[in-house]
Amino acid sequence: MSELTRNIDIGAPAPSGFSFENTLRNQYMLSMKGSDTLPTPKKTGTTIVGLVYKDGVVLGADTRATSGSEVAEKNCEKIHYLAPNMYCCGAGTAADTEMITQLISSQLELLRMNTHSTSRVVTACTLLKRRLFQYQGHISAALVLGGCDINGPAVYQIHPHGSTAKLSYTTMGSGSLAAMAVFESSWREDLEEAEAVKLVQRAICAGIFNDLGSGSNCDVCIIRKDQSVDHRRNEVKPNEVGPLREKVHHSSLLTMTPGITPTLGNPVVRSHPTQPIGIGLADVEVTAMEVEAS
Amino acid sequence: MSKQRTTQPITTGTSVIGLVYDGGVMIAADTLLSYGSMAKSFNTPRLYNIEDRILLGASGEYSDLQEIVAKVKALALQETTNSMESIYVDRKLPAKSLWNYLRAVMYQKRSKMNPYWNDVVVAGWDDQADKPFLGTVDKLGTTLQENLVATGFGGYLAMPLLREKWRNDLSEGEARALLEDAMKVLFYRDCRASARIQLAKCTSDGCIVSEPYELDHSNGWNAPSMIRAAGDLDGDGGW
């Protein structure tokens, strides 16, 4: 078993990039139990969509982030900024989608400074796919990239292993089948903006209500050929829980307002966050720490 | 010779979908028989009319479906001709009873670790309640009675559409249009589906199973953006 352990030299600098040590462990697991497949990784839930319409592109995403069967975040943002004329929806591991879009966004900005022109969608697609292919699928980011440039509106789907496809409409994530069913039923060429937004909302809502990995609200982002962007956070909120919470009757005995308990006096000195209470370091006597048992 | 058990389906049919509408129940399935990734036959109906009263359809292993249908047809015939009451009363096997019988059969087979590898859809007219009946039995013996059903891939692709558009006062024409739309989406996105489908409906007057026919998919791949070459130099070079 010596090949599974490694003496870690604490003084040496940390190895950069991905550590593939677990491949040894995985090989061992395969040979151990006699089963010929490893435990499958869990698919993180999401519904993300993108489509091209007459005057640009519309992107959509749900807002649920899951950690296994638990909802980790009820209203997260899955539509990431890449450039003034480009946004990217991300499904898969949340950290991977966030970091890779930020990385490519800064690369695009540097490129804009160098070339003095607006970024092209195909550039972002190429930068993303090269990075993802380099990491052989270990960066678990499935993206729907959309934007408008000199070549017109474009929507790309990018898979974790680095394959891409340029399409007129696409969906990704665990709710992608529900959303794609809506698209296949209702998409046509050259939709008007209102129709396109409605179609995206319907597709995301299909994911929200039929896929357990997706939920909460629907975010929409419209990027038009004239380079105007309309990032509508929480465009549709079909799962508002506020009214439901209001209906729950809380006993008046359980709601405490300040001053409800009678007190004899008020000797407590209320400290302001920026003003010290009145104890300074000079007031404290410094003694050496006892390190040996006396 | 040692006992053999079903461990995987070989010759298969894909999704069966169905819904209850105002006045009856309607189910649909395509007629493609798959042999793994081979298209074995394009014209194998998977929806059956039992005694003109009950509709039966299933996805999964086709040989198990044939066995189930043979057993069910024999049972239904027995009910109407051989049972003690049949000489006095015009007794017909109710759909709900057949559904429960299949539940018992499927559960027993599964408990012996040798299931019929099917998701069965049972539809009919419930005379006692005077309403349509629609239910499913899966290979584990799980039963569901619903207004909307879909087996296999249909659960992922057809169900969202059916749930969005269904109302309890759908007319027969609307029900058919909704099912055909869902079958078309399945043809687009299920690798083991075809555009040749079969529809079946059951009302208080009886059952009817249509002959297989082709869905119109002439506009499926001819959108200008789909035809245009994406890799042209006057574009962005595609992918």
Which is nearest to B15 in space by CA: B151, B195, B115?
B151
When computed from its CA atoms, the radius of gyration of chain B, rounded to whole angstroms, is 20
pLDDT at B211 over 90: yes
Alpha carbon distance A123, B125 (integer Å): 60
The mean pLDDT of chain A is 87
pLDDT tens digit sequence for B17-70:
999 999 999 999 999 999 999 999 999 999 999 989 999 999 999 999 999 999
Are B110 and B188 spatial neighbours (Cβ–Cβ below 8 Å)? no
Condensed to tens digits (0 to 9), the pLDDT of residues A188-244 reads: 999 999 999 999 999 999 999 999 999 999 999 999 999 999 999 999 999 998 888
Q: What is the pLDDT of residues A270-285, one digit of tens each?
A: 666 665 566 655 666 7
Instruction: Judge whether A210 is closer than 8 Å to chain B, CB to CB.
Output: yes
- Output the six-digit token pair for B1: 């010779």
Which residues of chain A from 21 to 40 reach within 8 Å of chain B, CB to CB? none
Contact A149 B236 (CB under 8 A): yes
Distance CA A204, CA A202 (A): 6
The reply to whether residue B185 touches residue A164, judged by beta carbons under 8 angstroms, is no
Tens digits of residue pLDDT in B159-168: 999 999 999 9
- Quote the pLDDT of residue A280: 59
- Higher per-residue pLDDT: B149 or A45: B149
Rg value, chain A, Cα: 27
HSE, side-chain direction, 13 A CA sphere, residue A36: 0
> Regarding the domain delimited by B11-232, which CATH topology (the fold level of the hierarchy) does it fall under?
Glutamine Phosphoribosylpyrophosphate, subunit 1, domain 1 (3.60.20)
Decide: B68 and B29 in contact? Cβ < 8 Å: no
Domain positions in chain B are 11-232
Distance from CA of B165 to the nearest CA of A (A): 11
Q: What is the pLDDT of residue A12?
A: 63
Question: What's the whole-number mean pLDDT along residues A15-23?
Answer: 68
ipTM of model over 0.85? yes
Token output for B85: 């009451």
Interface of B with A in 185-204 (CB under 8 A): 185, 188-189
User: Please, which residues 142-181 of chain B have a Cβ atom closer than 8 Å to chain A?
Assistant: 156-161, 163-164, 181
Q: What pLDDT score does A288 carry?
A: 85
B136 annotated active-site:
no
Contact assignment for B157 to A120 by CB distance below 8 Å:
no
B231 in A contact zone (CB under 8 Å): no
The residue that leads in pLDDT, A89 or B238, is A89
Nearest CA in chain A to B223: A189
Q: How far apart are CA A216 and CA A75, in angstroms?
A: 7
pTM, rounded to two decimals? 0.83
What digits encode the pLDDT tens for the residues A57-66? 999 999 999 9
Look at residue A43 in the predicted model and tell me its pLDDT. 47
State whether B157 and A180 contact (CB < 8 Å). Answer: yes
A185 near B CB under 8 A: yes
Q: What is the 3-state secondary structure (H, E, C) of chain B?
A: CCCCCCCCCCEEECCEEEEEECCEEEEEEECCEEECCEEEECCCCCEEEECCCEEEEEEEEHHHHHHHHHHHHHHHHHHHHCCHHHHCCCCCCCHHHHHHHHHHHHHHHHHCCCCCCEEEEEEEEECCCCEEEEEEECCCCCEEECCEEECCCHHHHHHHHHHHHCCCCCCHHHHHHHHHHHHHHHHHHCCCCCCEEEEEEEECCEEEECCCEECCCCCCCCCHHHHCCCCCCCCCCCC
How many residues can be counted in chain B? 239
Indicate yes or no: CB of B185 within 8 angstroms of CB of A151.
Answer: no
Cβ-based contacts of A149 with chain B (< 8 Å): 236
